[in-house]
């Protein structure tokens, strides 16, 4: 089984492609219900296939909503017997996301195999200096992805070595910045719309957490937010903003 969380489609694409390469048709998303109530989530699979956890890298770690399901869900017999594999997509640096994942798997008594990362177009736009990839770079990453996923599938089949996307200062990024980011930089409160909003509701329908309600023809954000930025990137009017941080920033959506 491949279970995926994806804001803007990169991880969904990676999970679905990997499912085809591994001959595993059980490729499914984390449901909004699981993400909103991780203690009630139940995960089981056919142990003949590895259980692949697929998610984007957030601030050099696992998205907190995914981490909560991993740490607190109940597992069926098949999931307890299966080999567990990690697949993360990132803009350019996963730092020690794999170590965080291995720690959780160990705590849960699960058998781990490889950890894999795939470089994909960047989607983070909420801080100064962070924007979508410059022209040409996203296309280059997307061109390279099929071959990179073929190598990852081969490594999973043969119990091969980890394939990681890691730059420098990984310890500081994952052990210091990640917890800070989780605590102080993930609030949905700054989300609002600008005058371009037509009230079409696309952002509300697309939210993987069901965190957006339409009120008086405008989206209103709740507090169960993954900060996946799907609402920001999917808006056909580019009308979703996050404080002033998104002023002049681009959009990037795969599907
Ligand atoms: C909140 C947030 C934090 C991010 N942090 C990182 C990061 O630490 N390192 C990185 O390389 N990319 C980072 N990114 C970029 C995503 O990991 C990358 O674009 C990923 O492929 C998005 O996957 P998705 O389309 O499945 O959501 C971040 C994106 C978001 C939304
Ligand atoms: S997708 Fe954009 S235009 Fe449509 S309701 Fe949401 S913010 Fe408004
Ligand atoms: S409100 Fe927006 S950023 Fe938050 S989970 Fe929903 S789509 Fe993602």
Largest CA distance in the chain: 55
Which residue from 8, 195, 196, 203 has its CB within 8 A of the most atoms of ligand 2, so it is best to mutate?
203
pLDDT digits (tens, 9 = 90+) for 72-112: 999 999 999 999 999 999 999 999 999 999 999 999 999 99
For residues 57-79, average pLDDT: 98
Q: What percentage of the chain has pLDDT greater than the value 70?
A: 100
Please say if the pLDDT value at position 255 is more than 90.
no
Do 11 and 88 fall within a single domain? yes
Do 46 and 6 fall within a single domain? yes
What is the domain count for the chain? Answer: 2
Report which protein residue has its CA nearest ligand 3's atom 6. 207
Which residue from 7, 27, 29, 56 has its CB within 8 A of the most atoms of ligand 1, so it is best to mutate?
56
Look up the CATH number of the domain holding residue 80: 3.40.50.360
In a domain, 102, yes or no: yes
Do 161 and 219 fall within a single domain? no
Distance 223 CA to ligand 3 centre (A): 10
Do 59 and 157 fall within a single domain? yes
In a domain, 160, yes or no: yes
Task: Report residue 135: phi and psi, to 5°.
Answer: -50, 135
Atom of ligand 1 nearest to the CA of 55: 26
- DSSP string for residues in 127-193: STT--SPPTTHHHHHHHHHHHHHHHHHHHHHTT---B----S-HHIIIIIIHHHHHHHS--STTEEE
Which residue from 228, 243, 253 has its CB within 8 A of the most atoms of ligand 3, so it is best to mutate?
228
Q: Which ligand is nearest to the CA of 211?
A: 3
Among 182, 209, 233, the domain boundary falls at 182
In a domain, 73, yes or no: yes
Do 72 and 135 fall within a single domain? yes
Do 130 and 6 fall within a single domain? yes
**What confidence tier does 135 reach under pLDDT thresholds 50, 70, 90?**
confident
Do 74 and 134 fall within a single domain? yes
Do 113 and 197 fall within a single domain? no
Atom of ligand 3 nearest to the CA of 65: 5
In a domain, 252, yes or no: no
Do 115 and 236 fall within a single domain? no
Do 202 and 139 fall within a single domain? no
Classify residue 139 as exposed, middle or buried by CB count within 10 Å of its CB (0-12, 13-18, 19+): exposed
Do 36 and 124 fall within a single domain? yes
Do 94 and 72 fall within a single domain? yes
Range of the domain at 18: 2-182
The pTM (predicted TM-score) of the whole model is 0.98
Q: Within 6 Å (CB) of ligand 2, which residues are found?
A: 193, 197-203, 219, 235, 237, 239-240
pLDDT of residue 104: 98
């Amino acid at each position: 089984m491949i279970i995926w969380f994806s804001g803007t489609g990169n991880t969904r694409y990676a999970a679905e492609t990997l499912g085809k390469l591994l001959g595993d048709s059980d490729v499914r998303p984390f449901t909004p219900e699981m993400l909103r109530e991780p203690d009630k989530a139940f995960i089981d699979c056919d142990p003949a296939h590895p259980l692949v956890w697929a998610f984007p890298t957030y601030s050099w770690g696992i998205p907190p909503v995914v981490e909560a399901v991993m740490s607190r869900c109940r597992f069926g017999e098949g999931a307890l017997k299966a080999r567990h594999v990690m697949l993360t997509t990132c803009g350019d640096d996963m730092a020690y996301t794999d170590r965080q994942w291995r720690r959780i798997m160990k705590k849960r008594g699960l058998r781990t195999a490889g950890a894999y990362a795939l470089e994909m177009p960047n989607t983070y736009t909420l801080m100064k200096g962070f924007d979508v990839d410059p022209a040409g770079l996203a296309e280059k990453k997307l061109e390279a992805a099929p071959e990179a996923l073929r190598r990852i599938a081969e490594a999973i089949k043969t119990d091969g070595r980890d394939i990681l996307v890691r730059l420098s200062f990984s310890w500081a990024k994952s052990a210091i910045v990640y917890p800070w980011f989780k605590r102080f930089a993930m609030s949905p409160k700054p989300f609002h719309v600008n005058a371009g909003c037509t009230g079409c509701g696309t952002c509300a329908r697309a939210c993987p957490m069901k965190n957006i309600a339409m009120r008086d023809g405008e989206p209103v954000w709740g507090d169960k937010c993954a900060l996946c930025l799907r609402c920001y990137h999917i808006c056909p009017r580019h009308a979703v903003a996050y404080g002033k941080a998104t002023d002049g920033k681009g959009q990037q959506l795969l599907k």
